[in-house]
């Protein structure tokens, strides 16, 4: 069979933070080859698949020698002779061989690279671009992007407590237009930083380094940047925040906002974010509370989930079971889908399918540690997820994904439909109508 796996190879390559990461290459009997690189998070949830690192002195403990060896040894032997077109079978075999619930033994970074490489190989054997291989002839939408302007939190030395200050252009006609508007805002934000003597470089995902006196100061600067760009805040351009509140919770259920000199319990934290929602054109909020604060997430959803997208990242960790549990608790209306958080393509897809059954939105997301790998542009499109998050509008590990989406849009030709407001859960979409 031409999709029979002939060889699996792993190698160490380097990510956007200059840290080692795992690349996998899957070669099929018919000659098709697929390749993928594992990304890496900095603000990680405790319930994610394990990113296996060597520890010790070398590379600051970030070596991937064990994970790469797992690809070249155990995983290569396990998958040789299997059908790359049977993604579920491959992923289940790796999970079973691993034997832990979070892929701690082989490494989620090893399994995700192999899982994605096998998917690429199957698409290549099909003679199709990955997005089309996944779409299987169904009509799929070009995803709506959320794009970072200021990067804070764990990605910028905790200069702000809120991690991602992003923009969304749901009313753009095409992704091309959304990028053009975003480029204007990004440039205006740079100018504003320069004019106010705050220009201090770029954060991990390419956003402007946040030199602000308070978290709200950053929000005000983002609003000002949108105005300066000549586009209309709350009309053409909306704000999206990833609070990444997991990083603010010391483990005692108390949220510490260092920049604001404030400390809150869950209720007060939800109220703090509610204040921002009242004062700024905010359309989407990710992780307003920490990974086990389901009650807080539900309270946020009751207070502003009708009109605002509420995304679970660290709290849901791309896990279908956790998505259903959150929905049962009335917590959230959107899931962030990070393939490496799940550890395999199949598990990530299951989380996306669960969200779809619930009428939730889904955002396929990159990690703060990225590479030239553009798989997520294809997953977000081919799975018809509706939304994508890649980081900022600078640095090539980010731009590679945006540019790939432009190529996909062009390849779709007249069939290219931009998700726009349809990317959101129904009540949020209705607010944009």
Provide the binding-site residues for ligand 2PG, judged by CB under 6 A. 41-44, 154, 163-164, 205, 242, 244, 313, 365, 367-368
- Cβ within 8 Å of residue 352, ≥6 positions away: 335, 337, 362, 364, 383, 385
Q: Closest distance between ligand 2PG and the C-beta of residue 259, in Å?
A: 18
Query: Which residues face 309 on adjacent strands?
Result: 284
Place of tokens 């190879």: 9
* Separation between Cα atoms, residue 371 and residue 398, nearest integer Å: 8
- Point out the catalytic residue in the list 23, 286, 338, 370: 338
Bridge-partner residues for 150, per DSSP?
165, 208
Token readout for 165 is 């200050």
Instruction: Please tell me which residue in 205, 216, 286, 397 is annotated as part of the active site.
Output: 205
Q: Which does 300 bind (CB under 5 to 8 A by kind): ligand 2PG, Mg ion, none?
A: none
Question: Do residues 37 and 22 lie in contact, with contact meaning Cβ atoms separated by under 8 Å?
Answer: yes
Binding interface with Mg ion (CB under 5 A): 242, 244, 286, 313
- Give, in order, the Cα–Cα distances in Å from 110 to each of 237, 346, 414: 38, 15, 38
* Beta carbons of 338 and 311 less than 8 angstroms apart: no
Asked about 247 being catalytic, the answer comes back as no
Partner interacting with residue 367 (select from Mg ion, ligand 2PG, none; CB below 5-8 Å by kind)? ligand 2PG
**Nearest residue to the partner Mg ion, using Cβ:** 313
Give yes or no: 338 in active site: yes
Hunting for tokens 């590679």 — which residue is that? Answer: 400
Q: Render 152-201 in DSSP notation, one character per residue.
A: -GGGTTTSSSS-EEEEE-TT-SSHHHHHHHHHHHHHHHHHHHHHTT----
Rounded to a whole number of angstroms, the minimum distance from the CB of residue 255 to ligand 2PG is 16
Comparison of 243 and 412: residue with beta carbon closer to Mg ion: 243
Where b means 16+ CB within 10 Å and e means fewer, 162-191 reads bbbbbbbbbbbeebeebbebbebbbebbbe
Of 48 and 91, the one with the shorter C-beta distance to Mg ion is 48
Q: Within 13 A of 45's CA, how many CA atoms are on the CB side?
A: 27
Nearer to ligand 2PG among residue 8 and residue 342 (C-beta): 342
Residue nearest ligand 2PG (C-beta atom): 41
Residue with Cβ nearer ligand 2PG (87 or 371):
371
Q: Give the shortest CB-238-to-ligand 2PG separation in angstroms.
A: 18
CB of 338 to ligand 2PG, least distance (A): 7
Instruction: Select from ligand 2PG, Mg ion, none the partner in contact with residue 48, using the beta carbon and a kind-dependent cut-off of 5 to 8 Å.
Output: none
- Contact assessment for residue 383 and residue 349, using Cβ atoms and an 8 Å cutoff: yes
Nearer of residues 236 and 286 to ligand 2PG, judged by Cβ: 286
The two three-digit tokens of residue 382, written as one number: 């081919």
Q: Supply the minimum distance, in Å, between the C-beta of residue 154 and ligand 2PG.
A: 6
DSSP state, residue 202: B
Residue number with CB closer to Mg ion (236 or 242):
242
Q: Which does residue 207 bind out of Mg ion, ligand 2PG, none, counting CB within 5 to 8 angstroms by kind? A: none
Q: Which does 293 bind (CB under 5 to 8 A by kind): Mg ion, ligand 2PG, none?
A: none
Shortest gap between Cβ of 358 and ligand 2PG (angstroms)?
A: 20
Which residues are annotated as catalytic?
205, 338
């Amino acid at each position: 069979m031409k999709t029979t796996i002939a060889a699996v190879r792993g190698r160490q390559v380097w990510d956007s933070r200059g840290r080692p990461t795992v690349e996998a290459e899957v070669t099929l009997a018919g000659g098709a080859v697929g390749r993928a690189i594992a990304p890496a998070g900095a603000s990680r949830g405790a319930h994610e698949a394990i990113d296996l690192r060597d520890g010790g002195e070398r590379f600051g403990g970030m070596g991937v020698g064990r994970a790469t060896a797992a690809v070249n040894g155990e995983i290569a032997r396990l998958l040789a002779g299997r059908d790359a077109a049977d993604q579920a079978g491959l992923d289940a075999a790796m999970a079973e061989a691993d034997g832990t619930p979070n892929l701690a033994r082989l490494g989620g970074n090893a399994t995700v690279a192999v899982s994605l490489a096998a998917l690429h190989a199957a698409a290549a054997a099909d003679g199709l671009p990955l997005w089309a291989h996944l779409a299987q002839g169904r009509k799929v939408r070009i995803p709506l992007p959320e794009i970072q302007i200021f990067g804070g939190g764990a990605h910028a030395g905790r200069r702000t407590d809120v991690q991602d200050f992003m923009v969304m252009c749901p009313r753009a006609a095409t992704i091309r237009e959304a990028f053009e508007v975003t480029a204007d805002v990004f440039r205006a934000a740079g100018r504003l930083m320069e004019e106010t003597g705050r220009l201090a470089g770029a954060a991990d995902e390419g956003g402007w380094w946040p030199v602000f006196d308070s978290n709200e100061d950053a929000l005000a600067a983002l609003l000002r940047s949108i105005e300066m760009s000549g586009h209309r805040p709350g009309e053409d351009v909306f704000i999206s925040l990833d609070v990444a509140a997991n990083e603010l919770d010391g483990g005692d259920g108390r949220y510490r906002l260092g920049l604001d000199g404030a400390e809150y319990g869950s209720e007060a934290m939800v109220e703090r974010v509610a204040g921002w929602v009242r004062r700024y054109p905010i359309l989407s909020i990710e992780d307003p509370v920490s990974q086990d604060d389901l009650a807080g997430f539900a309270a946020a959803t009751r207070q502003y989930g009708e009109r605002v997208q509420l995304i679970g990242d660290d709290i849901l960790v791309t896990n279908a079971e956790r998505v259903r549990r959150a929905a049962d608790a009335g917590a959230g209306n959107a899931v962030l889908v990070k393939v490496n958080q799940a550890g395999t393509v199949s598990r990530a897809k299951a989380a996306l399918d669960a969200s779809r059954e619930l009428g939730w939105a889904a955002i396929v997301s990159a990690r703060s540690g990225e590479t030239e790998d553009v798989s997520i542009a294809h997953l977000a499109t081919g799975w018809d997820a509706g939304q994508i998050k890649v980081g900022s509008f600078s640095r090539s590990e980010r731009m590679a994904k945006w540019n790939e989406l432009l190529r996909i849009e062009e390849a779709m030709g007249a069939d290219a439909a931009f998700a726009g407001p349809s990317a959101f859960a129904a009540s949020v979409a209705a607010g944009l109508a």
